[in-house]
């Protein structure tokens, strides 16, 4: 649903990623072609069966990988193999550095960005408090639970004040209850920072609950099958599951994706959505 008053924050056009043939293994068409517009300030989730290339899409968008063809644009400037200023990435695995304390971890990106130390102190203190880590600022990641470590990673991204935050299945390693709480955290973060958020997830519930729009991808090579707009209000929380429309969104997603998922595990079926 194109909204003429909304600005496009990031855009990919004709994006593909092909892994070339090696060692007698054939070339792998991992992704595409994909066309996608990300609007400023929106919360967009991407779901799809395993192996469909969701993580690849995120890495291309972040500038961590180069596409085989197509273009990537962020704030009007082409992205080519370098992470643009203003983009923050949270990875699937816990990426907190075990040799630094929580505080030092969060400060990590700032140390290299030429910000003076007083400002670093202010921003890190703010991020640590914001993510509820102030009691643990001097602890090491090894002493924290998985959920807390992911919060450290998110805080580390936050201090750089990114305008676009890319999250690659950040809660995959957590249990369901923690995931729901972290989802609320993510919404709070989104509201307070006003950043654009792209969330990759394999959980249809999570996508339906948190997002303004949900993009469903086909099995490999991943293409966009449909983008569903949820129309949720901006002040939503995980309690949105009580809304009757929530079930309709997830049902629609599953209808689109069911046959794709079967293809991903090896059962052939045509990909025409119902």
Partner 1 sequence: MTRYAWVRISIVAGAALILEILCRTGVVPRLIMIPPSEMMASAWQILASGEIKSDFYFSFVNIALAIGFSVVGGFITGLAIYSAPVLRATLEPFLTSYSAVPPIVFHPMLIVIFGLNRAPQVIIAVMFGLVPMAIHTISGLRRIRPVFLKVGRANRLSRAASIFQIQLPAAAPYIFVGVTLAVSYSVIGVISTEFILSASGIGHQISFAYDNYDNRTMYGLVLLLLATATLLNSSLRHYSQRMLQRWTR
Nearer to partner 1, 164 or 214 (CB): 164
Nearer to partner 1, 83 or 262 (CB): 83
Q: Which helix (H) or strand (E) holds 117?
A: helix 117-130
SS3 130: helix
* Residue pair 55/200 in contact by the 8 Å Cβ criterion: yes
Size of the site for partner 1 (CB under 8 A): 23
Q: What minimum distance in Å lies between the beta carbon of 150 and partner 1?
A: 12
Q: What minimum distance in Å lies between the beta carbon of 147 and partner 1?
A: 15
Bridge partners (DSSP) of residue 165 are 88, 197
Which of 35, 85, 175, 269 binds partner 1 (CB under 8 A)? It is: 85
Residues 6+ apart with CB under 8 A from 167: 89, 90, 186, 197, 198, 199, 200
User: What is the distance between the alpha carbons of residues 150 and 169, in angstroms, rounded to a whole number?
Assistant: 11
244 lies in the site for partner 1, by CB under 8 A: no
Which of 1, 2, 142, 244 binds partner 1 (CB under 8 A)? It is: 142
With DSSP H G I counted as helix, E B as strand and the rest as coil, what are the percentages for the chain, rounded to 5?
40, 25, 40
Residue 195 C-alpha from the chain's centroid: 12
64 lies in the site for partner 1, by CB under 8 A: yes
Which of 22, 23, 26, 99 binds partner 1 (CB under 8 A)? It is: 99
119 lies in the site for partner 1, by CB under 8 A: no
Nearer to partner 1, 149 or 263 (CB): 149
Which of 29, 95, 139, 243 binds partner 1 (CB under 8 A)? It is: 95
Q: Is 112 exposed, middle or buried, given 0-12, 13-18 or 19+ CB atoms closer than 10 A?
A: exposed
* Binding positions for partner 1, rule: CB under 8 A: 62, 64, 82-83, 85, 87-89, 91, 93, 95, 97-99, 108-109, 112-113, 140, 142, 156-157, 160
């Amino acid at each position: 649903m194109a909204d003429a008053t909304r600005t496009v924050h990031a855009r990919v056009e004709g994006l593909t990623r092909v892994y070339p043939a090696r060692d007698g293994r054939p070339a792998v068409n991992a992704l595409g072609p994909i066309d996608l517009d990300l609007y400023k300030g929106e919360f967009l989730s991407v779901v799809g069966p395993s192996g469909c290339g969701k993580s690849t899409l995120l890495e291309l968008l972040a500038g961590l990988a180069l596409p085989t063809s197509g273009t990537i644009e962020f704030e009007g400037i082409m992205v080519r193999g370098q992470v643009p200023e203003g983009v923050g990435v949270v990875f699937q695995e816990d990426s907190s550095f075990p040799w630094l304390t929580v505080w030092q971890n969060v400060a990590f990106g700032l140390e290299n960005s030429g910000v003076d130390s007083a400002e670093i102190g202010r921003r890190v203190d703010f991020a640590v408090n914001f993510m509820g880590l102030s009691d643990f600022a001097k602890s090491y990641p090894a002493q924290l639970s998985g959920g807390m470590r992911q919060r450290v990673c998110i805080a580390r991204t936050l201090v750089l004040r990114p305008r676009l935050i890319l999250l690659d299945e950040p809660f995959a390693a957590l249990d369901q209850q923690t995931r729901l709480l972290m989802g609320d955290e993510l919404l709070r973060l989104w509201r307070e920072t006003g950043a654009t958020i792209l969330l990759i997830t394999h959980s249809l519930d999570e996508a339906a609950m948190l997002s303004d729009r949900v993009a469903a991808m086909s099995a490999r090579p991943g293409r966009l099958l449909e983008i569903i707009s949820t129309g949720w209000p901006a002040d939503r929380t995980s309690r949105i599951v009580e809304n009757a429309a929530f079930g309709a969104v997830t049902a629609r997603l599953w209808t689109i994706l069911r046959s794709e998922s079967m293809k991903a595990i090896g059962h052939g079926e045509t990909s025409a959505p119902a």
